């Protein structure tokens, strides 16, 4: 089993446990469930913002502990102040050290869109995301069938959520594109062995239909790369470890943005 298989296997157990604890009816009663999600596109294309989707991530399977000291409130607020267009908050506990409360805390102190970054394999998780105050959900093509992607995307959009589809290669892109998406992200990290290659984004740039926002994810470690990605049509840039691996992620993004 590679890491992704292990994550999905554990996720199936997790979702079953969550359903036992909190019913769908209870999720729908949460305060956040009635909030109108922010429109991802409005913030991503806002000229006063950077296109950066800045991530709060404590650890990862490939790097181990990245940052266990900073708080989600201080980091996400600093990201927003520095001009991030959206936030990405990990809610996977076992592999990334995330918690649902992280998303709730980020929502309470920010007015820009928030992505629930997790491995969605069940409609229940989409309802969870809505109940925790997320604006965007992530669908990973390599762990879902084309029918699941269409069904999950349709459900999410019916709730007002924005849908980001993540692909790793042309085959995933071609089989997964459907009308129920808002953005397509190219992950430059291979989730099987966690190697990264920014070239993946350049190779797929003109293969993504222009109906969707184009996002490049992972391996973006300097402002020059963003300028090059913009030139080939990308609107958004998901950056996680580059900021989180520093003692002060807020200062790191500020410095990064000053070079843009």
* Pairwise CA distance, residues 18 & 60, whole Å: 22
Candidates 176, 218, 235, 242; catalytic one: 218
Contacts with 236 (C-beta within 8 Å, 6 or more apart), sequence order? 44, 51, 52, 53, 85, 86, 183, 185, 213, 214, 215, 216
Which residue among 14, 166, 172, 241 is the active-site one?
166
Q: What phi and psi, each to the nearest 5 degrees, are found at residue 251? A: -65, -35
- Which residue do the tokens 């996680």 mark? 240
> Catalytic annotation on 105?
no
DSSP 167: E
Catalytic residue check, 19:
no
Cβ-contact 176, 150 below 8 angstroms: no
Q: Is 14 a catalytic residue?
A: no
List 80, 187, 201, 216, catalytic entry: 187
* Catalytic, out of 67, 80, 85, 117: 117
Q: Give the SS3 label for residue 166.
A: strand
Active-site option among 55, 128, 172, 241 = 55
Q: Among this protein's residues, is 48 annotated catalytic?
A: no
Please indicate whether residue 217 is annotated as part of the active site. yes
Q: Is 187 a catalytic residue?
A: yes
CA 193 to chain centre: 19
Among 128, 172, 217, 241, the one annotated catalytic: 217
**174 assigned to active site:** no
Catalytic residue among 57, 105, 130, 214: 57
Contact 93, 99 (CB under 8 A): yes
Active site residues: 55, 57, 117, 166, 187, 217-218
């Amino acid at each position: 089993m590679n890491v992704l298989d292990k994550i999905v296997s554990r996720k199936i157990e997790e979702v079953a446990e969550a359903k036992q604890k909190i019913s769908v009816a209870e999720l729908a009663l949460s305060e956040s469930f009635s909030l109108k999600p922010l429109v991802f596109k409005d913030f991503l294309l806002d000229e006063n913002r950077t296109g950066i989707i800045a991530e709060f991530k404590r650890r990862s399977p490939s790097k181990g502990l990245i940052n266990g000291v900073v708080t989600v409130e201080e980091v996400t607020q600093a990201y927003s102040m520095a001009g991030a267009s959206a936030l990405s908050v990990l809610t996977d506990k076992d592999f990334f050290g995330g918690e649902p409360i992280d998303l709730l805390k980020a929502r309470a102190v920010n007015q820009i869109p928030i992505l629930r970054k997790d491995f969605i394999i069940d409609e229940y998780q989409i309802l969870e995301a809505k109940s925790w105050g997320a604006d965007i959900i992530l669908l990973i093509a390599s762990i879902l069938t084309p029918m699941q992607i269409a069904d999950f995307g349709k459900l999410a959009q019916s709730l007002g959520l924005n849908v980001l589809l993540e692909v790793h290669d042309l085959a995933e892109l071609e089989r997964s594109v459907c009308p129920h998406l808002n953005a397509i992200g190219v992950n430059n990290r291979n989730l099987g062995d966690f190697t990264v290659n920014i070239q993946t984004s350049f190779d797929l740039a003109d293969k993504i239909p222009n109906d969707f926002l184009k996002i490049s994810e992972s391996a973006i470690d300097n402002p020059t790369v963003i300028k090059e990605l913009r030139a080939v049509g990308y609107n958004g840039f998901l950056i996680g470890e580059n900021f989180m691996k520093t003692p002060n992620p807020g200062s790191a993004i500020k410095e990064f943005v000053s070079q843009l």
